[in-house]
Amino acid sequence: MAQKVCGPQVQKNLFQAWGIEKPPREEAAQGAPVGARASSSSPSPSPSGAWPGRKRRWGGSDENGASRKPVACPFYKKIPGTPFTVDAFRYGAVEGCSAYFLSHFHCDHYGGLTKKWCRGPIYCTALTARLVKMLLSIDSAYVCPLELDTEYVIDGVKVTFLEANHCPGAALIHFRLSDGKTYLHTGDFRASKSMQLHPLLQTGRISLLYLDTTYCNPKYKFPPQEDVIDFVVRTAQRYLKKQPKTLIVVGAYSIGKENVYLAISQALEVPIYTDASRRRILHSFGWPDLSKRISSCNQSSPLHVLPLASLQHENLKKYLETLDQRFLAVLAFRPTGWTFSEAAGKELDLIKPSSRGRVTIYGVPYSEHSSFSELRDFLKFLRPQKVIPTVNVGNAANRDKMQAYFREWLKST
């Protein structure tokens, strides 16, 4: 293995340098496609071509001006029996960790990564790797992109990334140890029926599941994403029919919610305007249909993408005024599970917009995290031996309540 140092390395094989075992030629094979049923033998390894709102976990300085050490890495970010951690970049050099996994490129998961990173290899999907290098200026020598649905051997552990149905580049991480134990870390994910078709999840029982429990509460009842997108498109068409000079705005994080505004663009046959920073990110995805629709002219399209936090009436009123009367009204969509209406539940047509003057804002329950019922169905299908929640675990009452749900769901399987 090549020596790990701060700065560029001269190396012929990055995977070999970071300890990925290259299989013998006769055994090399592509990972099984999603939906294919696994054979009796394991696929051969193939080389590749936090919590929301959590504060930075550094201690700052004491009264003498000396830097305090970062807090210890939580147990639920360490994978037992391995030298691996998941989304654990803000805790300094984690003792015994030789490989750092990044589930996806959201700041509550990559927090702590800077261009000075030199603590070890970062394993992530190819799309996430591009974002890590482009936006955080991480030295390429430390970034190890792995393909989805392809098994790799890292430090003697078989590792496979699965589609997480969260944001672009997000992955579930499946670990199979030499003693036969299997662990699944969901990162952030939206459970779906298609996940149940993956051969790795159909064969063998998961020993330990690290579960995204963002919405592990029965009050969170989200419709399917496709239904929400259909509602958004129909609503946009209805408003444009009444007032053709309506500006459609979709709120989004730096990455995430792309399917919402892409569907509007396709239905209305209009380009998507957003700022230069987001355009750079979107082009990096390598999605041809999205890239060809992106516009740099805010006057050329009635569809704009703005930061989710900016979708307030006064902000949108001022934004409208900057467009030189090109548009006469604003229809904005705030697509997030946090804005769901419990009264409306799954009945999207019961959603009431917030209107003030020329600005109308819809909060729509388009979530990229699993609803309560989706978590239940996923656990009943997966039947893990043990579940560790990774979100909303700050107090014992929450943890106990979630564990009670898990016991109830698994009792009936």
| Domains defined for the chain, CATH in brackets | 14-216+372-411 (3.60.15.10), 225-364 (3.40.50.12650)
Give the whole-number percent of the chain exceeding pLDDT 90: 74
How far is the C-alpha of 192 from the C-alpha of 190, rounded, in Å?
Answer: 6
pLDDT at residue 221, as a whole number: 86
- pLDDT tens digits, residue range 306-323? 999 999 999 999 999 999
How many C-beta neighbours within 10 Å does residue 410 have? 16
Quote the CA–CA distance of 234 and 237 in Å, as a whole number.
5
pLDDT score, position 85: 98
Calculate Rg over the CA atoms of the chain. Answer: 23
Kindly report the number of other CB atoms within 10 A of residue 242's CB atom.
9
Q: Rounded mean pLDDT of 61-68? A: 40
CB of 255 closer than 8 Å to CB of 168: yes
The pLDDT value recorded for residue 346 is 59
Residue 245 has pLDDT above 90, yes or no: yes
Tokens of 54: 């959590």
pLDDT score of 347: 80
Residue with tokens 């560790």: 388
What is the reported pTM? 0.82
More confident of the two residues 338 and 108: 108
Top-confidence residue, 64 or 193: 193
pLDDT of residue 74: 92
pLDDT for residue 203: 85
Q: Tell me, what's the pLDDT at 339?
A: 55
The Cα-based distances of 141 to 15, 23, 41 in angstroms read 10, 22, 34
Better-scored residue on pLDDT, 297 or 6: 297
pLDDT at 190 over 60: yes
Task: Provide mean pLDDT across the span 28-57.
Answer: 32
Report the C-alpha gap between 122 and 87 in whole angstroms. Answer: 10
Mean pLDDT score, 189-217: 94
Identify which of 35-39, 45-49, 86-90 has the greatest average pLDDT: 86-90
Decide if pLDDT at 102 tops 70: yes
Residue 171 has pLDDT above 80, yes or no: yes
Q: Could you tell me the pLDDT band of residue 204, with boundaries at 50, 70 and 90?
A: confident
Q: What average pLDDT does this structure show over 257-283?
A: 97
pLDDT at 147: 98
Please say if the pLDDT value at position 291 is more than 80: yes
Tokens (6 digits) for 65: 């001006």
- HEC letters along the chain: CCCCCCCCCCCCCHHHHCCECCCCHHHCCCCCCCCCCCCCCCCCCCCCCCCCCCCCCCCCECCCCCECCCCCCCHHHEECCCCEEECCCCCCCCCCCCEEECCCCCHHHHCCCCCCCCCCCEEEEHHHHHHHHHHHCCCHHHEEEECECCEEEECCEEEEEEECCCCCCCEEEEEECCCCCEEEECCCCCCCHHHHHCHHHHCCCCCEEEECCCCCCCCCCCCCHHHHHHHHHHHHHHHHHHCCCEEEEEEECCCCCHHHHHHHHHHHCCCEECCHHHHHHHHHCCCHHHHCCEECCCCCCCEEEEEHHHCCHHHHHHHHHCCCCCCCEEEEEEECHHHCCCCCCCCHHHCCCEEECCEEEEEECCCCCCCHHHHHHHHHHHCCCCEEECCCCCCHHHHHHHHHHHHHHHHCC
Percentage of the chain modeled with pLDDT above 70:
80
How far is it, in rounded angstroms, from Cα 302 to Cα 246?
7
* Higher per-residue confidence, 346 vs 30: 346
**pLDDT score recorded for residue 413:** 59
The answer to whether the Cα torsion of 255, 256, 260, 266 is positive or negative is positive
Is pLDDT at 66 greater than 90 in this prediction?
no
**What are the structure tokens assigned to 56, written together?**
């930075």
The encoded tokens of residue 229 equal: 């997108």
User: CB burial class (10 A; 0-12, 13-18, 19+) of residue 279?
Assistant: middle
* Predicted pLDDT of residue 348: 86
